C-alpha cells in the first residue's frame, strides 16, 4: 500500500508537470515572438522615427531599395484605376477645365477667342465624362477619338489641356481588356486591394503622413506581411450551398478575377517580390521590456507595465509581511484557544476563500472612497489604494503560512532559550523567528505570486489601460495583469497584434518566476545557515 501511494504521488507530480508544460510551452513560444521575430524595413523605420534607433545610412539605403521594388505596385494600381473609377476621373477633367479658363484669363485672351477655346474645352470635358461613365465600348472609342482630334491644336498647346489628353490616353490603354459588365465589382475589389497594400507597405509615397503611428507604417513583422499577402492573393468569399444550409467560406484567386486586365501582373509580382519590398531580417527586440507602448500596444513594449507591477508588488508586500508575521506570532505565542481566537481563525479561513473581485469592491469602497479622502488624499484609484487592497487579499495566506512555520519550530528551542534566562520576547526574536524563517519565506513566495498576478482587486482601485509613468503612490499605473486583461476583452487593435498580448502574459510569468526564484534562493541560504553550514 505504501508503494502504491508513493507511485500515485509521483504520477500526480508528473501529471501536473505535463499539464503545466502543455499550457506554458505554446504560451512561451508565442510570447517569445514579441522579442524574437523577422522584422521588416517598416519595423526599422518605426524604431528610427519613434525611438531614434538604428543606423541612419543603412536605413536610407533600405528605403531606396524597397521604394524601387514597390513602384510597380503603385503604377499598376494607378493604371488600372484610370479605367474603372469614373467619379475620380470625371472630377479630374472638370478641375483641368476650370484651370484652363483661369490660364486663358492670365494670358489676356478675351472676346471670341476666349469663348471659342472655352467652348472647345467644355466639349472635350463632356466627351471624356461621357466616355468614363459609359459601358458601350463603341461610344467610348468615338469620344476618345474626338478628344484626340484636338491633340495637335496649337491653341491648346502648352496649356493645362495637355493633362486632359494624357488622362484620355491612359484611360484608353486601361480599358483595353476591361469587362465593363464587371466594372462595379472591379471597383469594390480594387478598394480592398488598396487597403491591403496600405497595411502591407504603408502610405503611398506623396500622401500626407497619418496622425496615428499605426497608420504610418506597413507590416513591421514578416508573419504579418505573409498574412496580408494571403488576403491579397486569395481572399475569402461566402457562398451559398443548398437551400437552408449556412453560407460556406471559399477562397478564390484574385489574379483569376482580374485576368486580362492591366492589374493582373501585380499579384504575381507581390508573390515573388514581397521580400524585396520589405527586406525581412531576424530581430532581437530586447527593448520590448523597457519601451512604452504606442497606439494601444500596436507598437512598443511593456516597460511601464513591468514598473507598475513591481511597484504594486513591493508596496503590498511592505504591508503584508510585517502584519502577517505579527498576527501569526500573536496567534501562536500570545493567545489561548478561547472563543475570540476561534472566531479570528474562522474569519482568516473565510477571507482566504473570498473571491478576489469582492476584495476589489471593498478596496474601492473603503480605501478609495473613504480612507484616503479622510487623510486629504484624492478620491481616485492609485498605487497606494491598489497595494492596500492586494495586501488585504493576501494577508490570510501570509498569516496561515507564518503560523504553520512558527508552530513547526521545536519546543526544545524555546525551552533552551528560556532556561538560559532569555525572556519570551527575546526568545521569539532571536530563536523562534529565525528558525521559522524558511517557512515564512514560503508564505512570502506564495503571496508574491498572487499579488503580482491578480487583476480583479486592482480593476477599480489603481490601474488604468492608459496612464503615464507614476510619479507618486497617489497616481494610477499600468500593470501586466490588467494590461493582459484589457487586451483580451474586445480590443480591436490588440486582435491585430496577438504577439503583444502573449508577450505581456509571458513577461508576467517570467517576472513572477524571477521574484519567486529570488525568494527561494534566500530561503535556501537561511536554511543552510540554520543547519550550521
Helix (H, G, I), strand (E, B) or coil at 53: coil
280 pLDDT tier (thresholds 50, 70, 90): very high
pLDDT-derived band at 490 (thresholds 50, 70, 90) equals low
What pLDDT was estimated at residue 396? 93
- Cα gap 424→37, rounded to integer Å: 61
The whole-model pTM stands at 0.81
45-59, 121-135, 470-484: segment of lowest average pLDDT = 121-135
β pairing state of 36-39 and 281-284:
antiparallel
Contact call for residues 84 and 187 (beta carbons, < 8 A): yes
- For residue 415, the model assigns a pLDDT of 87
Tens of pLDDT, residues 384-435: 999 999 999 999 999 999 999 999 888 888 889 889 888 888 998 888 888 8
- Bridge-based pairing state of the strands 299-300 and 248-251: unpaired
> Regarding the domain with residue range 299-530, which homologous superfamily does it belong to in the CATH classification?
MetI-like (1.10.3720.10)
**Whole-number pLDDT of residue 532:** 65
pLDDT at 271: 92
Tell the burial category of 251 from Cβ atoms under 10 Å away from its Cβ (0-12, 13-18, 19+): exposed
257 phi, psi to nearest 5 deg? -60, -35
For the stretch 234-259, pLDDT in tens is 998 887 767 777 878 888 899 988 88
Residue 203's pLDDT is 92
Q: Is the pLDDT of residue 369 over 60?
A: yes
Where in the chain are the domains? Answer: 299-530
CA dist 276 and 225 (Å) reads 12
* pLDDT band of 40, cuts 50, 70, 90: very high
Give the pLDDT confidence of 312-325 residue by residue, as tens digits. 999 999 999 999 99
Amino acid at each position: 500500500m505504501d508503494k502504491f501511494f508513493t507511485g500515485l504521488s509521483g504520477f500526480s507530480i508528473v501529471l501536473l508537470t505535463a499539464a503545466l508544460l502543455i499550457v506554458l510551452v505554446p504560451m512561451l513560444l508565442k510570447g517569445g515572438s514579441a522579442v524574437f521575430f523577422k522584422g521588416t524595413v517598416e519595423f526599422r523605420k518605426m524604431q528610427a522615427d519613434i525611438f531614434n534607433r538604428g543606423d541612419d545610412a543603412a536605413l536610407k539605403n533600405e528605403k531606396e531599395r524597397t521604394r524601387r521594388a514597390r513602384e510597380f505596385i503603385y503604377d499598376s494600381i494607378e493604371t488600372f484605376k484610370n479605367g474603372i473609377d469614373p467619379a475620380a476621373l470625371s472630377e479630374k477633367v472638370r478641375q483641368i477645365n476650370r484651370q484652363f479658363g483661369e490660364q486663358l484669363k492670365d494670358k489676356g485672351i478675351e472676346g471670341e477667342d476666349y469663348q471659342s477655346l472655352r467652348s472647345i474645352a467644355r466639349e472635350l470635358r463632356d466627351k471624356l465624362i461621357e466616355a468614363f461613365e459609359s459601358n458601350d465600348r463603341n461610344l467610348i472609342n468615338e469620344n476618345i477619338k474626338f478628344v484626340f482630334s484636338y491633340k495637335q491644336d496649337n491653341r491648346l498647346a502648352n496649356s493645362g489641356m495637355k493633362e486632359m489628353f494624357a488622362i484620355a490616353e491612359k484611360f484608353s490603354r486601361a480599358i483595353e481588356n476591361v469587362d465593363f459588365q464587371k466594372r462595379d465589382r472591379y471597383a469594390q475589389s480594387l478598394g480592398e486591394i488598396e487597403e491591403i497594400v496600405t497595411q502591407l507597405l504603408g502610405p503611398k509615397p506623396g500622401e500626407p503622413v497619418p496622425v496615428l503611428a499605426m497608420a504610418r507604417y506597413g507590416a513591421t513583422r514578416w508573419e504579418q506581411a505573409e498574412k496580408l499577402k494571403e488576403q491579397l492573393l486569395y481572399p475569402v468569399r461566402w457562398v451559398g450551398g443548398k437551400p437552408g444550409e449556412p453560407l460556406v467560406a471559399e477562397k478564390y484567386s484574385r489574379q483569376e478575377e482580374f485576368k486580362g486586365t492591366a492589374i493582373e501582373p501585380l499579384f504575381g509580382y507581390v508573390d515573388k517580390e514581397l521580400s524585396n519590398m520589405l527586406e525581412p531580417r531576424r530581430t532581437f527586440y530586447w527593448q520590448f521590456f523597457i519601451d512604452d507602448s504606442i497606439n494601444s500596444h500596436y507598437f512598443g513594449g511593456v516597460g511601464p507595465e513591468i514598473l507598475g507591477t513591481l511597484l504594486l508588488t513591493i508596496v503590498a508586500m511592505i504591508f503584508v509581511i510585517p502584519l502577517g508575521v505579527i498576527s501569526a506570532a500573536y496567534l501562536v505565542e500570545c493567545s489561548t484557544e478561547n472563543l475570540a481566537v476561534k472566531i479570528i481563525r474562522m474569519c482568516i479561513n473565510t477571507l482566504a476563500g473570498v473571491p478576489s473581485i469582492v476584495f476589489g469592491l471593498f478596496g474601492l469602497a473603503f480605501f478609495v472612497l473613504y480612507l484616503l479622502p479622510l487623510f486629504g488624499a484624492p478620491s481616485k484609484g492609485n498605487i497606494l489604494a491598489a497595494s492596500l487592497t492586494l495586501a488585504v487579499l493576501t494577508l490570510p495566506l501570509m498569516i496561515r503560512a507564518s503560523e504553520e512555520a512558527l508552530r513547526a519550530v521545536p519546543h526544545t528551542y524555546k525551552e533552551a532559550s528560556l532556561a538560559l534566562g532569555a525572556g519570551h520576547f527575546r526568545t521569539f526574536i532571536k530563536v523562534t523567528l529565525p528558525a521559522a524563517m524558511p517557512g515564512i519565506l514560503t508564505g512570502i513566495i506564495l503571496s508574491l505570486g498572487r499579488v503580482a498576478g491578480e487583476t480583479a482587486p486592482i480593476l477599480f482601485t489603481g490601474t488604468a489601460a492608459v496612464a503615464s509613468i507614476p510619479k507618486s503612490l497617489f497616481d494610477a499605473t499600468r500593470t501586466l495583469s490588467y494590461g493582459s486583461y484589457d487586451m483580451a476583452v474586445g480590443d480591436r487593435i490588440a486582435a491585430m497584434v496577438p504577439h503583444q498580448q502573449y508577450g505581456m502574459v509571458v513577461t508576467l510569468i517570467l517576472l513572477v518566476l524571477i521574484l519567486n526564484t529570488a525568494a527561494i534562493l534566500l530561503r535556501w541560504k537561511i536554511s543552510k545557515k540554520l543547519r550550521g553550514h
